[in-house]
Amino acid sequence: MTPSNVKISQRSAMLIERMRGEGMTNEQLLQAIEERSTEPLAGSATAAGINLDEWIDYAAEHGEQLADAIRAGYRMTFTTVPGAGNWLRFALGLGEGQHYTVPEEGRMDGLQLDEVQFQRIADAMAMNWVLVRQPDGSASLMLKSLQ
Is the pLDDT reported for residue 147 higher than 70? no
- In this prediction, residues 122-133 reach a mean pLDDT of 96
The per-residue pLDDT of the chain, averaged, comes to 89
> What pLDDT, on a 0 to 100 scale, did the predictor assign at position 60?
80
> What pLDDT, on a 0 to 100 scale, did the predictor assign at position 61?
84
| 58, 70 Cβ separation under 8 angstroms | no
Q: What's the burial of 12, exposed, middle or buried (CB within 10 Å: 0-12/13-18/19+)?
A: buried
- pTM value is 0.87
End-to-end CA distance of the chain: 29
Distance between alpha carbon 78 and the CA centroid of its chain, in Å? 11
Nearest alpha carbon to residue 37 among 13, 16, 56, 62: 56
Cα-atom radius of gyration of the chain, to the nearest Å?
A: 16
> What pLDDT, on a 0 to 100 scale, did the predictor assign at position 143?
95
> What pLDDT, on a 0 to 100 scale, did the predictor assign at position 2?
63
Q: Which residue has the higher pLDDT, 144 or 88?
A: 88
> What pLDDT, on a 0 to 100 scale, did the predictor assign at position 82?
95
Highest averaged pLDDT of the listed ranges 25-29, 43-47, 120-124: 120-124
Pairing of strands 129-133, 107-111: unpaired
By three-state DSSP, how is residue 141 classified? strand
| 38, 47 Cβ separation under 8 angstroms | yes
- In this prediction, residues 24-53 reach a mean pLDDT of 80
Q: What's the burial of 51, exposed, middle or buried (CB within 10 Å: 0-12/13-18/19+)?
A: exposed
pLDDT digits (tens, 9 = 90+) for 46-94: 766 777 778 888 888 887 899 999 999 999 999 999 999 999 999 999 9
